[in-house]
């Protein structure tokens, strides 16, 4: 269990990136969903002890994270959104280096873990190649391999599917589901589909605030029997949750207690509907929910 209490962070230029965040996250896969600029990366970096908040407490299992960041680091795997520049080292050599930084000093243990992680992330055939020459998808898989070194109990992944092709994305989903049994995996994304596929629990963040959190099913209850889909635009455009395209043709997701237009058919509410609902509420709080 990860508990976050009244966490706030303001950047030097005055941007309030986190505003009084309170969250209790269970183990398993948890999604942190929000638009670009919402504060996801800032929250992830703060949880990974790479940034110091102005206020607040973080508790993971029995660790008071702000007082004992080194205790957390031993249990933490972190995949940042950007890795920066890669040194000109082979994939294996870089993983060995990172294993030592994580305190895995036993050579046999190091070798076994690295071989297993290369296999898991489909990098065995390029183990001796320099990471600096890797494609975006390969770098992302390398990032995942290094995050899993030491079998962490808290895995923080900032946009893990960025740059992956559809097959790599599916493979990553399968990998995360397989390893999520006895861990807390916190996954940030603006891709609702990733969370719908993977996470039974979600937190929605916007403008530095948690606007809603809980089991996905519970978040959908308030929209039940109120979402419609139509290929024609409803007259009351304030009812539109989202406008999507399929094979180049528009269709509208609409929130209404009664059929909003003759072409509208009732549909099952999705997390995407809830996400757009929250964004519209934030932008226009007066619009009835």
Task: Summarize as ranges the residues that interact with ligand ADP (CB under 6 A).
Answer: 11, 13, 15, 17, 34, 36-42
CB atoms within 10 A of CB 125: 8
Residues 145, 113: contact at Cβ < 8 Å?
no
- The nearer residue to ligand ADP, 41 or 280, going by C-beta atoms, is 41
Least distance (Å) between residue 14 CB and ligand ADP: 8
- The nearer residue to ligand ADP, 160 or 260, going by C-beta atoms, is 160
CB atoms within 10 A of CB 126: 19
- The nearer residue to ligand ADP, 38 or 63, going by C-beta atoms, is 38
Residues 19, 42: contact at Cβ < 8 Å?
no
- The nearer residue to ligand ADP, 149 or 205, going by C-beta atoms, is 205
- For Cα atoms 100, 96, 106, give the angle at the middle one, nearest 5 degrees: 55
Least distance (Å) between residue 54 CB and ligand ADP: 13
- The nearer residue to ligand ADP, 29 or 32, going by C-beta atoms, is 32
- Alpha-carbon span 237 to 165, nearest angstrom: 35
Least distance (Å) between residue 108 CB and ligand ADP: 39
- The nearer residue to ligand ADP, 37 or 200, going by C-beta atoms, is 37
Least distance (Å) between residue 178 CB and ligand ADP: 26
Single out the residue of 262, 195, 257, 274 nearest to residue 230, CA to CA.
262
| Contacts of range 232-239, beta carbons closer than 8 Å, 24 or more positions apart | 232/261, 232/263, 234/260, 234/261, 234/264, 235/260, 235/261, 236/260, 238/284, 238/287
Is 224 exposed, middle or buried, given 0-12, 13-18 or 19+ CB atoms closer than 10 A? exposed
Least distance (Å) between residue 17 CB and ligand ADP: 4
Question: With left for phi above 0 and alpha for psi between -120 and 50, is residue 168 left, alpha or beta?
Answer: alpha
Least distance (Å) between residue 38 CB and ligand ADP: 4
| DSSP state letters, 118-164 | HHHTT-GGGTTSBGGG--HHHHHHHHHHHHHTT--SEEEEESTTTT-
Least distance (Å) between residue 280 CB and ligand ADP: 18
- The nearer residue to ligand ADP, 13 or 225, going by C-beta atoms, is 13
């Amino acid at each position: 269990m990860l508990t976050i209490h009244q966490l706030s962070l303001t950047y030097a230029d005055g941007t309030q990136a986190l505003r009084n965040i309170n969250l209790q996250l269970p183990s398993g896969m948890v999604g942190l969903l929000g638009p670009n600029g919402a504060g996801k990366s800032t929250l992830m970096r703060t949880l990974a002890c790479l940034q110091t908040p102005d206020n607040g407490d973080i508790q993971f299992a029995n660790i008071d994270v702000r007082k004992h960041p080194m205790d957390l680091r031993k249990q933490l795997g972190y995949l940042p959104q950007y890795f920066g520049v890669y040194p000109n080292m082979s994939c294996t050599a870089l993983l060995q280096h990172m294993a030592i930084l994580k305190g895995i000093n036993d050579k046999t243990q190091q070798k076994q873990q690295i071989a297993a992680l290369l296999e898991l992330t489909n990098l065995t055939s390029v183990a001796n190649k320099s990471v600096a020459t890797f494609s975006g998808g390969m770098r992302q898989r390398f990032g995942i391999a290094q995050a899993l070194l030491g079998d962490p109990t808290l895995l923080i992944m900032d946009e893990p599917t960025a740059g992956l092709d559809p097959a790599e994305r599916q493979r990553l989903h399968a990998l995360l589901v397989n390893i999520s049994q006895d861990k807390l995996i916190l996954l940030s994304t603006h891709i609702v589909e990733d969370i719908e596929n993977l996470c039974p629990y979600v937190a929605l963040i916007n403008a530095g605030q948690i606007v809603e959190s809980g089991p996905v099913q519970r978040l959908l209850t308030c929209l039940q029997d109120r979402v419609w889909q139509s290929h024609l635009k409803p007259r009351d455009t304030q009812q539109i949750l989202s406008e999507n395209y399929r094979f180049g043709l528009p269709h509208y997701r609409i929130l209404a207690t009664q059929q909003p237009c003759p072409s509208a058919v009732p549909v099952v509410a999705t997390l995407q509907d809830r996400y757009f609902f929250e964004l519209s509420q934030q932008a226009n709080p007066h619009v009835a929910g």
